[in-house]
Structure 1
Amino acid sequence: MIYDISFTALAFFFVFVGLVLGLSFYFGRKKSSSSSYYAAGGQIHWAVNGIAFAGDYLSAASFLGICGMIAVAGFDGFLYAIGFLAGWIVALFLIAEPFKRLGKYTFTDALNAKFNSRAITLTASISTLIISVFYLIPQMVGAGDLVMPLLGLPHWAGVILVGAIVIAIVASAGMASTTYVQFLKGGLLIVLSLVLTVYILKNGLSTPPDFNGSPYHSFLKLSPEIKDGKIVSVQDWNIVSQQEVGKKTFVKLEQNGIERWFDWQQENDKNILNETLTITQKGDGTSLYNGETKENRKFYQVGHLSKIIVNGQELAKTGPLGPFEFLSTIKESEIIRFMQVKLIDGHDQVALYYPEATPGAKFMLPGLKYKIGSDANLWSKMDFVSLMLALFLGTAALPHILIRYYTVKTPRDARKSTILAIAAIGGFYILTLFIGVGAGVNGVMDVESSNMAAPLLARAFGAALFSIISAVAFATVLGTVAGLIVASSGAIAHDFIDVYLKKNLNDDKKVKVGKIAAVVVGIFAILLGMAFQGINVSFLVGWAFAIAASANLPAILFLLFWKKTSSTGISASIVVGIISSLAIILTSPTMWDKYGLGAEKALHQLENPALISFPLAVLTVYIFTKLYPKKEKNLQTISSE
């Protein structure tokens, strides 16, 4: 996309980042014990922790990814919000209080509380590290996307900037500063999302989008002459070539030395060529946008309503709408979405984004992304169930969420924190439905990155709102990344080096090693953020949830609720959960496409592994406990303590 630097946004950005770093250095001045570094000394008030829970959880996936996916895929994007929220029910009723009673300040501590097993220490620390890294990837991708319109920097520069700031936050004060950063940005994100929703409803709907800042572009529609099923001429244009991709036919035309691609469709029994958005990666390394250089600014933001129907009548504009009126009007109307295909044109690689009219009723029901209806096949149904299973079970097993239970004083505080988090997160996710739909129909979508839907919608309402929301969204990434790096550094310094390798570090050395580990993990996260540019962050987070659900949750549940569970069963289930989920992810269509091998040639068509990996891990912990039972001296239940 083509972005102009907003100096207002720039000012808000530096003020907000300065505030975040100021908090970190304030807490960093205090002497940091290992308990305060990894778990804030267990002294955080439950209300602060509850909002910090929300701030930690409402990551780039929630604000950037879900809004973007709703804008592109309608209700299928909102399914992520439903799954993310439902996962907290598992955390509330099964995990919060009993888990608080088990550990000191890491997931591994809790899992190993009854065994003192080196195998659990090793496998749980590796699991924490892998899940944290997979969760870090979408945060860094989202950060790079945000920095492009804010600072006018390329994606890779944004990723490096976020990494450097977060490393400074974590290395200065650990969990204490991270908690208050998350508390601050969690509260602001909810409030600002409410403000943005009010703007959307007040503006109403129009076709074409006509509110301030919307760079709506009227796309060309050409009438070709057809002979024997082929285009033989187009008035005032020269035909260069045409290609079939799947069931679609695309035609390249030339006029005044500019080559542009069109999508051949039938509308009202007439042949029409619809202009596409095109990015051409030339064989000589240059890029063209709609046949011209980027400086000519001929690449546009898209997504709008082609028809607005209210009470059976077609309107050009609605005026302000209530929440239910807004959704019902969308359901009755018709939306123009832009879909992507890729093709090879000689020595050039071409990405085409073509318009597709979608009935509002179809947009507001499941099925655009996850095929579960009449057009579904076995793989698509399995993939949908697998995603929902991962989202529902993954929350309660995310290491950076679990360690928050150690930042409060009592198990009762842990439960109260969880209830407050559920209320805050649930309210926010309702707002994402309006923000996502609003972005999809108001001509603000960046076809290269659905992650920018919410910030670009805010920009259409004015520089001030865009500036504040972008700064808070950036802080959202900072807070979540900071929490993940604290969890990762704890797994490396405390679990692996101190406990597993038996280095017996004193308190100062444990903190120092943790800070070094934070720097290393931060650098690794930067590299991964660059590698996965352009993939929707909610989709990427789904992988982290799947690994957490498979590797951690079976071990946690068996430990808490089956007194016969053995250390061998727990460690074996973690290994099986990690290996099976990673194997499915790394051979998925998305990764096959990333390898340049073609998604359709992948070993299977399953994007989300939980449907297979979670049952495997459950079966493993049961079988290995039976084969290698718990020693008699360890037969203590949690409730007996």
Structure 2
Amino acid sequence: MIYDVSYTAIVFFVGFVGLVLGLSFYFGKKTKSASSYYAAGGQIHWSVNGIAFAGDYLSAASFLGICGMIATSGYDGFLYAIGFLAGWMVALFLVAEPFKKLGKYTFSDALNSTFKSRLVTLTASISTLIVSIFYLIPQMVGAGDLVTPLLGFPHWVGVLIVGVIVILIVATAGMTSTTYVQFLKGGLLILLSGILSFYIMKNGFTLNPDHEGKPYHDFVELVPVMNGDQVESVTDWNVLSQHNVQGKEFVNLEKDGIQRWFLLNKMEGEPILNEALSITTDESGMQLYNGEPKENGNFYQVGHLSKVVVNGEEVESSGSVNPIQFLNIIKNSEVVRFLNVKFTSNNQEVSLYYPQETSGESFMLPGLKYKIGKGASWWSKMDFISLMMALFLGTAALPHILIRYYTVNSPRDARKSTILAIAAIGAFYLLTLYLGIGAAVNGVMDVESSNMAAPLLAKAFGVVLFSVISAIAFATVLGTVSGLIVASSGAIAHDLLDGYFNKNLSDSNKVLAGKLAAFGVGIFAIALGIAFKGMNVSFLVGWAFAIAASANLPAILFLLFWKKTTAKGISWSIVMGIVSSLAIILTSPTMWGRYGLRPADALHQLENPAIISFPLAVITLYLVSISTKKQKVNI
């Protein structure tokens, strides 16, 4: 994707970052004790905490990832929103009030309220670190994706900028500044998503979205001369090669020294070559877009409708619509999505994006990403169930969500905060359905990064809206990363150093250790954000939810509701949840591809581990607990 730097966006970005840092330094002057650093002294009002809950939870995965997945996969992308929201029911009815009564600063505090066990402290703090790190990866990836259109810098610079700013936020005031950053960006995110949805309804549907950049479907169509299934010649073009990939025919043509790739289609019996969007690298290492250097700008935004149907009649455009009409029209129309294939041609790796016409009805039903109906394999059905389990069970076990219960004054306030959070998060996720579909049909998609769907949609309606949305999206990353690093620093300083290694840190030294830990975790998060460039952030967050559900939730629920639970049972359950979920993730098809291997050759075809790792953790906790006496002393 080719981006031009938006100076208006830079102004909003710098202004918002300045506001965030100003809040941090202001509250930093008031942060003296460990209680104020790790839990804001328990003095946050429940209404502020409820919106901060939403701000913390509506991370890069929600705003960037879910919108992008809906734009590319339709209803299957919206399943993430359903799963994320449903998980709050577990938090509300099972965890919120009793968890507030158990702890002080960290997840480990709650588990150790009964046992005072060093083994529980060790395993719970390690679990907090692992879950937080897996949640940090998509936030940093999203930050890198945002900074390119905003500031014109490469992806790694965006990751670095977020890391530095967040380290400053956490190192100055800890949970207090983090809470107010999350409150501010949570409220603004919901408000601006509503405004953007209004623009989508007002714009309606059209076959020819008139936005910045040449839309894909204006590309010239070539008619080849064929012999059987092979292209023999095209006027003024030389045929270099032809490849059958996943049942599609791709033809490489050359003209005036420029090589381009085309998808072979047959329209009314006549062969047609439609240009495929290609990204290759030449021998010198230069990245080529559609056969030309990146600076030539020959790479366009895509995503449109090939048919608009209103009241049973095909039209050029629909005009303004209401929310119900919007969904009815998209169901009866036809969406052109762009799918990716990769293969080797003449010893060179080729990545192509080709158009795929999809009926609106298929777009609005499950099956485009997760194969669970006709044609589904055993693995795909297992993977879908596993993902839903992770999203439903993981929310109530995320360390940076759990520690927010310690920032309010009472269990009653914890419950009220959760109810407000559910209302705010539910409203936002409903809006993501319209944002994702709007991006899919308005010619604004960046095929290299589905994470940019919502910001680029905003850009289509005006640079000011784009600037504000992008700044808020960046703040979304800042707020969530801040919460994760607070949780991580608490696990290191409060749990490991003070609790497990018995350093007996003073209050001031505990705060200092937390700040140093925040610096170390921030540096590590930067490195991971650079390494996982290009992956959809919602997909990555699914892994964090799976680990949290497997390692943490069984321990929480058994501690709260089963009197025979023992310290060893909790500890070994956490270990089993971590080891089994990580083993499945690290041997998954996606990671096999990251290793440079063929995903089809992976040890298994399961992307999401919860369907195996969660039951294993539950069984382990039960068996170990019944085989050991309940211990309330150090072990």
Q: How does 1:478-497 map to 2 (within 5 A)?
A: 478-497=478-497
> How far did 1:375 drift?
1.3
**Distance verdict in 2 for CA 1:543–1:223, change over 3 Å:** same
Contact 1:589–1:600 (CA under 8 A) maintained in structure 2 = yes
Describe the superposition over 1:271-324 as per-residue Cα deviations: whole angstroms up to 9, x where unpaired. 221110000022331111000011111000100001101122111111000001
Find the counterpart in structure 2 of residue 88 from structure 1. Answer: 88
Contact 1:208–1:306 (CA under 8 A) maintained in structure 2 = no
Find the counterpart in structure 2 of residue 408 from structure 1. Answer: 408
In structure 2, C-alpha distance between the alignment counterparts of 1:593 and 1:256, rounded to whole Å = 35
In structure 2, C-alpha distance between the alignment counterparts of 1:188 and 1:225, rounded to whole Å = 56
Structure 1 counterpart of 2:341, one-letter code: V
> How far did 1:556 drift?
0.4
Contact 1:132–1:488 (CA under 8 A) maintained in structure 2 = yes
In structure 1, C-alpha distance between the alignment counterparts of 2:204 and 2:173, rounded to whole Å = 46
Structure 2 counterpart of 1:140, one-letter code: M
Find the counterpart in structure 2 of residue 43 from structure 1. Answer: 43
Secondary structure in structure 2 of the residue aligned to 1:502 = coil
Find the counterpart in structure 1 of residue 253 from structure 2. Answer: 253
Structure 2 counterpart of 1:309, one-letter code: V
Find the counterpart in structure 2 of residue 637 from structure 1. Answer: none
Structure 1 counterpart of 2:416, one-letter code: K
> How far did 1:348 drift?
2.2
Find the counterpart in structure 2 of residue 397 from structure 1. Answer: 397
In structure 2, C-alpha distance between the alignment counterparts of 1:316 and 1:133, rounded to whole Å = 48
Structure 2 counterpart of 1:414, one-letter code: A
Contact 1:394–1:549 (CA under 8 A) maintained in structure 2 = yes
Find the counterpart in structure 2 of residue 507 from structure 1. Answer: 507
Matched, 1:275 2:271: no
Find the counterpart in structure 2 of residue 639 from structure 1. Answer: none
Contact 2:115–2:631 (CA under 8 A) maintained in structure 1 = no
Secondary structure in structure 1 of the residue aligned to 2:355 = strand
**Structure 1: segments with no counterpart, 5+ residues:** 635-641
Describe the superposition over 1:106-163 as per-residue Cα deviations: whole angstroms up to 9, x where unpaired. 0000011100011100000000000000000000000000000000000000000000
Find the counterpart in structure 2 of residue 207 from structure 1. Answer: 207
**Distance verdict in 2 for CA 1:442–1:214, change over 3 Å:** farther
In structure 1, C-alpha distance between the alignment counterparts of 2:281 and 2:81, rounded to whole Å = 35
Structure 2 counterpart of 1:319, one-letter code: G
Contact 2:221–2:272 (CA under 8 A) maintained in structure 1 = yes
Moved over 4 A (4+): none
Describe the superposition over 1:321-379 as per-residue Cα deviations: whole angstroms up to 9, x where unpaired. 00010111011011111100111222422110001100010000010000001010000
Structure 1 counterpart of 2:420, one-letter code: L
Find the counterpart in structure 2 of residue 222 from structure 1. Answer: 222
Contact 1:589–1:607 (CA under 8 A) maintained in structure 2 = yes
Find the counterpart in structure 1 of residue 581 from structure 2. Answer: 581
Structure 2 counterpart of 1:568, one-letter code: K
Matched, 1:158 2:191: no
In structure 1, C-alpha distance between the alignment counterparts of 2:235 and 2:29, rounded to whole Å = 72
Contact 1:134–1:541 (CA under 8 A) maintained in structure 2 = yes
Secondary structure in structure 1 of the residue aligned to 2:242 = strand
Secondary structure in structure 2 of the residue aligned to 1:101 = helix
In structure 1, C-alpha distance between the alignment counterparts of 2:551 and 2:214, rounded to whole Å = 46
Matched, 1:295 2:322: no
> How far did 1:225 drift?
1.9
Find the counterpart in structure 1 of residue 615 from structure 2. Answer: 615
> How far did 1:266 drift?
2.6
In structure 2, C-alpha distance between the alignment counterparts of 1:40 and 1:346, rounded to whole Å = 60
Secondary structure in structure 1 of the residue aligned to 2:113 = coil
> How far did 1:236 drift?
2.3
Structure 2 counterpart of 1:445, one-letter code: M
Contact 1:121–1:496 (CA under 8 A) maintained in structure 2 = yes
Which moves more between the two structures, 267-276 or 59-68? 267-276
Structure 2 counterpart of 1:446, one-letter code: D
In structure 2, C-alpha distance between the alignment counterparts of 1:598 and 1:34, rounded to whole Å = 49
> How far did 1:632 drift?
7.9
Contact 1:581–1:609 (CA under 8 A) maintained in structure 2 = yes
Contact 1:213–1:461 (CA under 8 A) maintained in structure 2 = no
> How far did 1:213 drift?
3.1
Describe the superposition over 1:209-257 as per-residue Cα deviations: whole angstroms up to 9, x where unpaired. 12x4364241232222221321112222110111121212210001122
Contact 1:75–1:366 (CA under 8 A) maintained in structure 2 = yes
Find the counterpart in structure 2 of residue 308 from structure 1. Answer: 308
Matched, 1:21 2:21: yes
In structure 1, C-alpha distance between the alignment counterparts of 2:436 and 2:360, rounded to whole Å = 14
Contact 2:117–2:632 (CA under 8 A) maintained in structure 1 = no
**Structure 2: segments with no counterpart, 5+ residues:** none
Aligned-pair identity (%)? 70
In structure 2, C-alpha distance between the alignment counterparts of 1:343 and 1:352, rounded to whole Å = 9
> How far did 1:633 drift?
8.4
In structure 2, C-alpha distance between the alignment counterparts of 1:626 and 1:223, rounded to whole Å = 73
Contact 1:214–1:460 (CA under 8 A) maintained in structure 2 = no
Secondary structure in structure 1 of the residue aligned to 2:424 = helix
Secondary structure in structure 2 of the residue aligned to 1:105 = coil
Secondary structure in structure 1 of the residue aligned to 2:209 = coil
In structure 1, C-alpha distance between the alignment counterparts of 2:245 and 2:425, rounded to whole Å = 41
Contact 1:215–1:301 (CA under 8 A) maintained in structure 2 = yes
In structure 1, C-alpha distance between the alignment counterparts of 2:311 and 2:3, rounded to whole Å = 39
In structure 1, C-alpha distance between the alignment counterparts of 2:92 and 2:393, rounded to whole Å = 12
Secondary structure in structure 1 of the residue aligned to 2:502 = coil
Which moves more between the two structures, 491-500 or 31-40? 31-40
In structure 2, C-alpha distance between the alignment counterparts of 1:562 and 1:627, rounded to whole Å = 15
In structure 2, C-alpha distance between the alignment counterparts of 1:30 and 1:316, rounded to whole Å = 60
Secondary structure in structure 1 of the residue aligned to 2:261 = strand
Secondary structure in structure 1 of the residue aligned to 2:4 = coil
Which moves more between the two structures, 49-58 or 270-279? 270-279
In structure 1, C-alpha distance between the alignment counterparts of 2:269 and 2:565, rounded to whole Å = 67
Find the counterpart in structure 2 of residue 235 from structure 1. Answer: 235
> How far did 1:40 drift?
0.2
| TM-score computed with the length of structure 2 as normaliser | 0.99
Describe the superposition over 1:562-588 as per-residue Cα deviations: whole angstroms up to 9, x where unpaired. 011000000000000000000000000
Matched residues, number: 633
In structure 1, C-alpha distance between the alignment counterparts of 2:114 and 2:33, rounded to whole Å = 25
In structure 1, C-alpha distance between the alignment counterparts of 2:306 and 2:401, rounded to whole Å = 43
In structure 1, C-alpha distance between the alignment counterparts of 2:245 and 2:296, rounded to whole Å = 29
Contact 2:305–2:335 (CA under 8 A) maintained in structure 1 = yes
Matched, 1:133 2:157: no
What's the C-alpha RMSD, in Å, of the aligned pairs?
1.1
In structure 2, C-alpha distance between the alignment counterparts of 1:105 and 1:268, rounded to whole Å = 67
Find the counterpart in structure 1 of residue 436 from structure 2. Answer: 436
Secondary structure in structure 1 of the residue aligned to 2:102 = coil
